[in-house]
Amino acid sequence: MVCDFQIDSHKLFKPKYRIKTMNLKTILLVEDNPMDIELTLEALSEHNLANRVVVVTNGIEALDYLYCKGNYSERNSDNPVVVLLDIKMPLMDGKEVLKQLKSEEKFKNLPVVMLTSSREEPDLKLCYELGANAYVVKPVDFKEFTDAIKHIGVFWALINETPNY
């Protein structure tokens, strides 16, 4: 699923953030929970944090997207600005996806934020050992959830600088 957002340019310049308007990029959301997908998309859209959000629902589909395979063989090969990756998913979990991505030179510097409901210490530790850039536990409260997504999006999609590959 690809979500294209119309960005209202007058909303891009808030005194709090200096935003690069020339090229907002794609965010890859890897999530199998339909409610979390909807809430994340709503929060990103409400705050104009990306031109596109690509949603995939399992690790295999995420890798297909990133490697431009299968249904994504025709896509532009630019990496997303950030991957929001759930841990617990069908077919291939987020830890396996993270391990594969961070072992490849092409994706070594790709920011990956583990956006998960898991508060388990072994998951947290392993994700950082595998190269996660951040580990965010999804808040249960709706407002807290959308605020967390807003902050993640602002930092990774707008403030953080990444090299061009």
Residue 16's pLDDT band (cuts 50, 70, 90) = very low
Let me know if residue 149 belongs to a domain: yes
**Residue 88: pLDDT above 80?**
yes
Confirm if 26 and 50 have CB atoms less than 8 A apart. Answer: yes
* Number of domain units in the chain: 1
Let me know if residue 95 belongs to a domain: yes
Q: What is the pLDDT of residue 18?
A: 40
Closest CA to 72 of 17, 102, 28, 12: 28
Helix/strand/coil (H, E, C) string of the chain? Answer: CEEECCCCHHHCCCCCCCCCCCCCCEEEEECCCHHHHHHHHHHHHHCCCCCEEEEECCHHHHHHHHCCCHHHCCCCCCCCCEEEECCCCCCCCHHHHHHHHHHCHHHCCCCEEEEECCCCHHHHHHHHHHCCCEEEECCCCHHHHHHHHHHHHHHHHHHCCCCCC
Let me know if residue 165 belongs to a domain: no
Q: What is the pLDDT of residue 9?
A: 31
Q: What is the pLDDT of residue 150?
A: 83
If phi > 0 it is left, if psi is from -120 to 50 it is alpha, else beta; for residue 128 that is alpha
Q: What is the pLDDT of residue 141?
A: 84
Confirm if 111 and 83 have CB atoms less than 8 A apart. Answer: yes
Q: CATH no. for residue 31?
A: 3.40.50.2300
Q: What is the pLDDT of residue 87?
A: 94
- pLDDT tens digits along 117-165: 888 999 999 999 999 999 999 888 888 888 888 888 877 777 777 766 5
Cβ-based burial of 83 (10 A; exposed 0-12, middle 13-18, buried ≥19): buried
Q: How far apart are CA 33 and CA 49, in angstroms?
A: 21
Q: What is the pLDDT of residue 1?
A: 59
**Residue 4: pLDDT above 70?**
no
Mean predicted confidence (pLDDT) in 41-67: 88
Q: What residues make up the domain containing 100?
A: 2-159
**Residue 115: pLDDT above 60?**
yes
Q: Token pair for residue 104?
A: 């490849």
Q: pTM value?
A: 0.81
**Residue 107: pLDDT above 70?**
yes
Let me know if residue 103 belongs to a domain: yes
Let me know if residue 50 belongs to a domain: yes
Mean predicted confidence (pLDDT) in 14-25: 45
Mean predicted confidence (pLDDT) in 88-101: 95
Let me know if residue 164 belongs to a domain: no
